[in-house]
Structure 1
Amino acid sequence: MLVYRITKAIYADRLVASGGAARWNERGQFVIYTAATRALACLENVVHRSGEGLQEIFRVMVIDIPDELRIDLLVTDTLPADWFDFRQYGTCQRIGGEWIRSGRSPVLKVPSAIISNEWNYLLNPAHPDFQRIGLIRTEPFVFDPRIKA
């Protein structure tokens, strides 16, 4: 399965996590966020960057998750009704943190908070099977100047 990550070109040559806090992890928990499609990866960038810095040089990272790798699924029905609200970050971070600490799988499929019925995939670099996940290629990416946050 291919997943996608759009990042500044200077970071696009390797699969690395910053350890910064985000929806599904607390600061110091290293997770790589990817999306099921290029379009969702684009929208995630626009939302999280608040439209700033989109004129810089970006690349699409095309990442292969081998079909035989275990992927845990976070079922939306098990989350609070307002899980996507910014005020629920703590709840989501606890859920993601538990997955990271458990070491159950190298990948967690999570719902997109931006688009219903779309999916993001979290990669755990500390999992032994992470080594089997590969950066296939990078592609140029330019945010359309009509995109405004």
Structure 2
Amino acid sequence: MKLWRLTRAPFLALDGSGPVKHGARWVSPGRPVVNFASEPGLAVLVVLRYLPRDLSGIDDDYLLGWTEIDAVPERLPFVSDRADKRRIGDDWLASGRSLLAAVRSAVLPEADVVMMNPAHPDAAHVPPLVTRPFEFRATLSLPPDP
């Protein structure tokens, strides 16, 4: 399965260290998890959602990347309550029963957020991301008139 991630260069590692400090939508602080998107467009939309509307001062070291993982994600139920989301995600991580878990995206319901448990034994076999630079300003600006 091909999975996508848009991240800044310093956070390219698939170790789940980002959510440890602050948590993530589906896990509580202190729990490592790596979030992927099932589609490249969803990876972009998720990050864009948290950026300021004025893109002039944002970081310019974003990378769009993908990796291939030979696993079928476990399906988690979509819930809208933040505490319920974290309870479901925390339970999944603690169980260690699967490398991947997928849940419908709130941003783009036709796609999935796919979480990876970096503590799962199979995580050691996940290839690093293949990346290319990604620039929000270039992507979101209109082309010049002909």
Q: Do residues 58 (structure 1) and 62 (structure 2) align?
A: yes
What is the correspondence of 1:31-110 to structure 2 with a 5 Å cutoff?
31-51=33-53, 54-66=58-70, 69-76=71-78, 79=79, 83=80, 88-110=81-103
Q: CA deviation at 1:137?
A: 1.2
- Measure how far apart 1:70 and its partner are: 4.4
Provide Cα deviations, 1:98-140, integer angstroms capped at 9, x if missing partner. 0000111010011101112210100100011111221241111
Q: Cα distance, 1:47 vs. partner?
A: 1.0
Q: Which residue of 1 aligns with 2:24?
A: 22
Helix, strand or coil for the counterpart of 1:63?
Answer: strand
Q: Does 1:138 align with 2:137?
A: no
Tell me the CA shift for residue 49 of structure 1: 3.1
1:11 offset after TM fit, Å? 2.2
Identity %: 28
More helix by share: 2
Task: Give 1:145 shift.
Answer: 4.1
Preserved CA contact (<8 Å) 1:61 1:135: no
The normalised TM-score by structure 1 is 0.81
Measured in 1, the distance between the counterparts of 2:125 and 2:96 equals 15
| Larger RCO (alpha carbons 8 Å, 6+ apart) | 1
Q: List gaps (5 residues or longer) in structure 1.
A: none
Root-mean-square deviation (Å): 1.9
Question: Aligned in 2, Cα 1:146/1:111: closer, same or farther, shift over 3 Å?
Answer: same
| Equivalent AA in structure 2 for residue 90 of structure 1 | A
**TM-score of the superposed pair, with normalisation by structure 2:** 0.83
